[in-house]
């Protein structure tokens, strides 16, 4: 099966990007395309999708992440410490002593 990345898949990727209220991961887009039977579920196809989306961003076909849109790593850096603190504070008092700076 020959995949028409520029003519068929990248326009569908753009459509999918517009359907999310956040910036989805490549994996989320990949599985949506697989579920729609547009591409096969293979590692080779996943890597090809990655290359095709990189090329499409460079060509301005797919919008790049904006400065106001935080990267996943930035979000996780903010959420992870808050989640840990919430777990510790809502658990038994013995956990509180295990957090540096909290006595």
Q: Write out the chain's pLDDT in tens, 103 residues.
A: 799 999 999 999 999 998 988 888 999 999 999 999 999 999 999 999 999 999 999 999 998 765 445 565 666 666 666 666 665 555 555 555 555 555 5
Quote the pTM value: 0.64
**How far is residue 39's CA from residue 45's CA, in Å, rounded to a whole number?**
7
**How far is residue 65's CA from residue 53's CA, in Å, rounded to a whole number?**
12
**Contact by Cβ (8 Å): 23, 17:** yes
Longest Cα–Cα distance in the chain: 63
* Secondary structure class of 43 (helix, strand, coil): helix
Beta-carbon-side half-sphere exposure of residue 6 (alpha carbons within 13 Å)? 6
């Amino acid at each position: 099966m020959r995949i028409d990345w520029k003519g068929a898949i990248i326009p569908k990727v753009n459509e999918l990007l517009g359907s999310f209220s956040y910036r989805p991961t490549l994996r989320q887009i990949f599985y949506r395309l697989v579920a729609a039977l547009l591409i096969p579920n293979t590692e080779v196809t996943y890597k090809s999708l990655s290359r095709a989306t990189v090329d499409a961003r460079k060509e301005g076909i797919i919008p790049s992440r904006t400065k106001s849109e935080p990267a996943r790593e930035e979000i996780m850096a903010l959420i992870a410490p808050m989640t840990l603190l919430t777990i510790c504070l809502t658990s038994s008092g013995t956990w509180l002593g295990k957090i540096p700076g909290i006595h």
